[in-house]
Structures are given as C-alpha cells and as structure tokens.
Amino acid sequence: MGTTDKLYIIIPAYNEEENIDEVVRGWHDIVSSINAESRLCIIDDGSKDTTFTKLQELQKNYAQLEAITKENGGHGSTIYFGYKYALEKGADYIFQTDSDGQTLPDEIDIFWQKRQKYDIQIGHRKGRQDGLSRIFVTKILKLVVLLQFRVLSNDANTPFRLMSSTSLADIMPLIPKNHNLTNVLLTVFYHKQGKNIKYRKITFRPRQGGVNSINFKRIVKIGRKAISDFANIKRKKRG
C-alpha cells in the first residue's frame, strides 16, 4: 500500500476503554503500511472512563498515532473536529470509522486502491449485525433524506468512508459545526454537488466491547432533531 499520498484516519471515541487497544492496533497497521506521513487520529470526546489515558500510553508504542481530547459534544461534532484537523494538517485523503470495533481494517484496501477514481467512497452496511433497531433507524433515515433533500443514498451515515481532501474541503463549509449527523449531511452534499461517489459493501459486526451509549429512546430523540435540522438547513439553502 506504500505511496506518497498522506492518509489521515479519523476515529471518534467516547468511553471505549474496552475496545481502544484493539482499534489502535488494527488501524495503526493501515497507516504505517501506507507511509510515515500518514496518521491515525483518535479523538476522545470527553470520555468519563480511561479511554484517553490509554490512548496516551498507546502513543508510546505507536509512532503514527495522534491522541487528541476535547470537551464532550457528540459524534457529529467530534468527526467534524477531526475532518478540520486532517485538512489543516495537509492530508491528501481522509478516512473515517468508529471506535467500537464493528468495522474491519483490512476492508479499506479496495477503497485505497481506487481512491483516485472517486471523490468519496462510502461503505454499504449490507447484512449488518448490530441489531434490528439500528437497521430500522437506517431505513427511516434513508427515507427522510430522500424526502427532505431528494437524495437517494444506499447508506448515508456509514462510519466507513474515504474522501479526497479537495472534495471534503469543498463540502465542509456547508456543514453546521455542531450538527449531530455530520456524515449524513456530508453524504447529502456530496450528492448535491455532483461529486463522484461510490458505495461499496462492507462487513458491519456487533459492537466488540463496552456499552452502546445510544439506546432506542435516544435514537428517537436524535431522529426528531434530525428532521427539524434538515428542514432548517433546506430552508437556508433555498434562501
């Protein structure tokens, strides 16, 4: 996988002390196989457990790991922070996944091989294994995105996406800083801007450890806010 293209992998983490060692090990192997300039950036979102302490210790053994912490703001604001950070550091490509161990590092290989052909490649979680409630929410979200934005996306919120820095820099100004569904809006605006998009099937396992912080009640709350936010964003774009 060696190349001069600089890859930054952005991973948000909140209370992931049970998963973080394995996540770092797997994804650090990816950046180190590309080149010495690539980085694994794990952004601790104000965890209440030992996640950040563990990350600081792991940095001693993983040279291309950058452990960053910030005040808690949720998944959307944390990946937004990470995307801005990667762009400021001069990344050529930015990849985002999550810290719960549900995605497989080796499945990035085909994404990386085809990076120059597309502005963004997004994982399609077909046959996902993380529960019926999550699958139901994804289907509802797909419908909401279609109704609000007239965008048909296979999987708008997938935490497995590779973007060129040039295309991401075009899209980022359109995304509210503290939106809770940053990746959904990124997908929408990649479509709206006519960017070159590719969906690829990926494996999506059950959470590998720890407690899922998103329960059904919170999913409903996020969903209602998303519908309201999408409507407001749509009105602003018209204005």
Looking at residue 92, which CATH number applies to its domain?
Answer: 3.90.550.10
DSSP states of the chain: ---SS-EEEEEEESS-TTTHHHHHHHHHHHHHHH-TT-EEEEEEES-SSSHHHHHHHHTTT-TTEEEEEE----HHHHHHHHHHHHHHTT-SEEEEE-SSS-S-GGGHHHHHHTGGG-SEEEEE-TT--S-HHHHHHHHHHHHHHHHHH----S-TT-SEEEEEHHHHHHHGGGS-TT-TTHHHHHHHHHHHTT--EEEEE---PPP-SS--S--HHHHHHHHHHHHHHHHHHHHHHH-
Number of domains in the chain: 1
Residues 154, 199 contacting (CB under 8 angstroms): yes
Q: Please report, for residues 84, 95, 115, 223, the alpha-carbon distance to residue 141 in angstroms, rounded to integers and kept in the order given.
A: 25, 22, 27, 8
Residue 25 lies in a domain: yes
Residue 165 lies in a domain: yes
Q: What percent of the chain has pLDDT over 90?
A: 68
For residue 213, the model assigns a pLDDT of 55
Residue 2 lies in a domain: no
What phi, psi does 156 have (nearest 5°)? -70, -25
**What's the length of the chain?**
239
- Domain span at residue 13? 7-238
Q: What is the mean pLDDT of residues 133-148?
A: 76
Residue type, 124: H
Residue 122 lies in a domain: yes
Q: What is the mean pLDDT of residues 49-55?
A: 98
More confident residue, 221 or 162: 162
Residues 239, 156 contacting (CB under 8 angstroms): no
Residue 151 makes CB contacts below 8 A (sequence gap 6+) with 145, 187, 188, 191, 192
| β-pair partners for 95 | 9, 162
Q: Please state, in angstroms and rounded to a whole number, the distance separating the CA atoms of residues 232 and 63.
A: 43
Q: What percent of the chain has pLDDT over 70?
A: 81
Confidence of residue 135 (pLDDT cuts 50, 70, 90): low
Please write the tens of the pLDDT for every residue from 187-238.
Answer: 999 999 999 999 999 998 876 665 555 555 655 665 666 666 676 766 666 6
Residue 127 lies in a domain: yes
Sheet holding 160-164, edge to edge: 65-70, 39-45, 7-13, 93-97, 160-164, 120-124, 197-201
Residue 1 lies in a domain: no
